[in-house]
């Protein structure tokens, strides 16, 4: 397995151990694989172990930091005549899919020998990084919007992270970068290609469990999750284990719709600000997200608060305790007509956001 760290635009190549979060031309970096292992069966690539490092043959590090991330359950349900595969990412160590990426990010910091990681986040990625940094005895400084759910901010501090509260999500991104010191590493998931490599293990798990999915419906903010799952399918296609890609559907919440706006023009519907995890106005990898949707014949779907609330209520009535942001994928599923065998990752637990849920479920619908 040969990995190359390359600029997504000017194609400049960097050493895998460089402490850089983007190319000198300003574009995001990608990890590309120039040589795949040659095996007959996917199982030959898998190691024993109850975490994502069982796929290390396809990851940029042979082993790494772990809190037992990955191997999340899949729940198959028939909903509106569709065979739906809910992937319960909220079973992750800190309650969201971000743990897969944070395991890679903190491992990279250790490999480079940096003792402080810096991240900006609406909450979940910040908590993942705080927990993984704590486990590796590394410092974490996390920039968040001041109104990020208290459950997430409190747990970051409990893990000993320095939490910097900002006026907005954008201010959090800008300050994380402008206040970065030379002996620190910026692992911001909106930019970091190593984070995406962690996400791809979700696709490997689906394939290993022989689940046939024809579409993937993902709440999308920075696109790290959508692009990471796609990266996993890309590995499987390039190694010859799959012939084609599932269709990728990005779900956005009304009010913050950069993907929709680029495809269809400015969104003019109702707000969806209950999805507090979907707040990035200008995702650095927007072009890559658009490209993935187009290439896989997918689409973008926008949901509003009313749809999020009914999605939450229906999920809770099925016993699926998610946070408001995760309910957007379910709400979108119900709006997409011809989707087949969809994979719907339920991205984050409701347990960190009970204060918000308590208010929301008291709103009659």
Ligand X SMILES: Cc1ncc(COP(=O)(O)O)c(C=O)c1O
> Rule CB under 5 A: which residues touch Zn ion?
7, 9-10, 12, 23, 25, 27
Q: In this structure, are residues 228 and 198 in contact, taking their beta carbons and an 8 Å threshold?
A: yes
In the complex with Zn ion, the residue whose CB is nearer, 7 or 259, is 7
Shortest Å distance, C-beta 181 to ligand X: 25
Residues in the chain: 365
| Beta partners for residue 197, in sequence order | none
From the list ligand X, Zn ion, none, partner contacted by residue 323 (C-beta under 5 to 8 A by kind): ligand X
What's the N-to-C CA distance of the chain in angstroms?
A: 53
Q: What share of the chain is helix, strand, coil (3-state, %, to 5)?
A: 40, 20, 40
250 bridge partner residues: 218, 300
Q: Minimum Å distance from CB 20 to Zn ion?
A: 11
Residue 106: alpha-carbon gap to chain centroid: 16
Shortest Cβ 183–ligand X spacing (Å): 27
Q: Are strands 139-145 and 116-120 parallel, antiparallel or unpaired?
A: parallel
Smallest gap from Cβ 265 to ligand X, in A, equals: 22
With respect to ligand X, which residue has the nearer C-beta, 64 or 145? 145
Query: At its nearest, how many Å lie between ligand X and the CB of residue 311?
Result: 13
Distances (CA, A) of 132 to 17, 117, 187: 20, 10, 12
- CB closer to ligand X out of 56 and 124: 124
The entry of ligand X, Zn ion, none near residue 96 (CB within 5 to 8 angstroms by kind) is ligand X
Q: With CB cut-offs between 5 and 8 Å by kind, which of ligand X, Zn ion, none does residue 221 bind?
A: ligand X
User: Choosing among Zn ion, ligand X, none, which partner's interface includes residue 23 (Cβ < 5 to 8 Å by kind)?
Assistant: Zn ion
Q: How far apart are CA 5 and CA 334, in angstroms?
A: 39
Q: With respect to Zn ion, which residue has the nearer C-beta, 9 or 334?
A: 9
Which residues are at the interface with ligand X (CB under 6 A)? 96, 122, 124-125, 219-225, 277-278, 323, 325-326, 347-348
Task: Specify the residue, 114 or 344, whose C-beta has the smaller distance to ligand X.
Answer: 344
Distance between CA atoms of residues 168 and 188, nearest Å = 16
Nearer to Zn ion, 23 or 253 (CB): 23
Closest approach of ligand X to the CB of residue 207, in Å: 20
Q: Per residue, what are the HEC states of 115-175?
A: CEEEEECCCHHHHHHHHHHHHCCCEEEEEEECCCCHHHHHHHHHCCCEEEEECCHHHHHHH
Tell the smallest beta-carbon distance from residue 9 to Zn ion (Å): 5
Selection from ligand X, Zn ion, none that 257 binds (CB < 5 to 8 A by kind) is: none
The site partner of 302 among Zn ion, ligand X, none (C-beta below 5 to 8 Å per kind) is: none
Q: Which is nearer to ligand X, 173 or 222 (CB)?
A: 222
Phi then psi dihedrals of residue 183, to 5 deg: -95, 15
Distance in Å, CB of 277 to ligand X, minimum: 3
Tokens of 32: 């590309």
Q: Which residue is associated with the tokens 């994502």?
A: 52
Count CB-CB contacts under 10 A for residue 63: 11
The binder of 224, among ligand X, Zn ion, none, by C-beta within 5 to 8 A per type, is ligand X
Asked if 69 contacts 103 with a C-beta cutoff of 8 angstroms, the reply is yes
Q: Which does 128 bind (CB under 5 to 8 A by kind): Zn ion, ligand X, none?
A: none
Closer residue to Zn ion (CB): 23 or 106 = 23
């Amino acid at each position: 397995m040969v990995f190359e760290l390359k600029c997504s635009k000017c194609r400049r190549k960097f050493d895998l151990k460089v402490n850089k979060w983007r190319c000198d031309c300003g574009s995001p970096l990608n990890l590309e694989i120039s040589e795949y292992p040659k095996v007959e069966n996917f199982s030959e690539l898998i190691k024993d172990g109850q975490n994502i490092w069982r796929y290390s043959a396809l990851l940029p590090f042979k082993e790494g930091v772990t809190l037992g991330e990955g191997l999340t359950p899949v729940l198959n349900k028939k909903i509106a005549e569709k065979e739906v595969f809910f992937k319960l990412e909220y079973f992750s160590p800190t309650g969201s899919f971000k743990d897969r990426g944070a395991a890679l990010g903190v491992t990279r910091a250790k490999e480079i020998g940096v003792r402080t990681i810096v991240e900006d986040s609406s909450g979940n990625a910040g908590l993942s990084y705080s927990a993984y940094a704590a486990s590796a005895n590394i410092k974490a400084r996390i920039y968040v919007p001041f109104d990020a759910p208290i459950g997430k901010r409190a747990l970051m501090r409990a893990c000993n992270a320095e939490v910097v509260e900002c006026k907005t999500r954008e201010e959090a991104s800008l300050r994380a970068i402008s206040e970065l010191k030379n002996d620190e590493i910026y692992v911001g998931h909106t930019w970091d290609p190593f984070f995406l490599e962690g996400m791809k293990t979700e696709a490997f798990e689906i394939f290993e469990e022989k689940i046939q999915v024809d579409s993937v419906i993902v709440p999308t903010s920075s696109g790290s999750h959508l692009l990471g799952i796609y990266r996993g399918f890309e590995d499987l296609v390039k190694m010859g284990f799959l012939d084609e890609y599932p269709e990728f559907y990005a779900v956005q919440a009304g009010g913050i719709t950069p993907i929709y706006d680029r495809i269809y023009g400015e969104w003019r519907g109702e707000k969806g600000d209950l999805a507090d995890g979907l707040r990035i106005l200008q995702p650095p990898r927007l072009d890559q997200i658009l490209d993935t949707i187009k290439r896989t014949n997918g689409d973008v779907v926008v949901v509003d608060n009313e749809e999020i609330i009914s999605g939450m209520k229906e999920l809770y009535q099925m016993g699926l305790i998610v946070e408001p942001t995760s309910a957007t994928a379910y709400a979108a599923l119900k709006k997409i007509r011809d989707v087949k065998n969809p994979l719907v990752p339920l991205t984050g637990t409701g347990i960190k956001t009970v204060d918000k849920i308590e208010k929301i479920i008291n709103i009659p619908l």
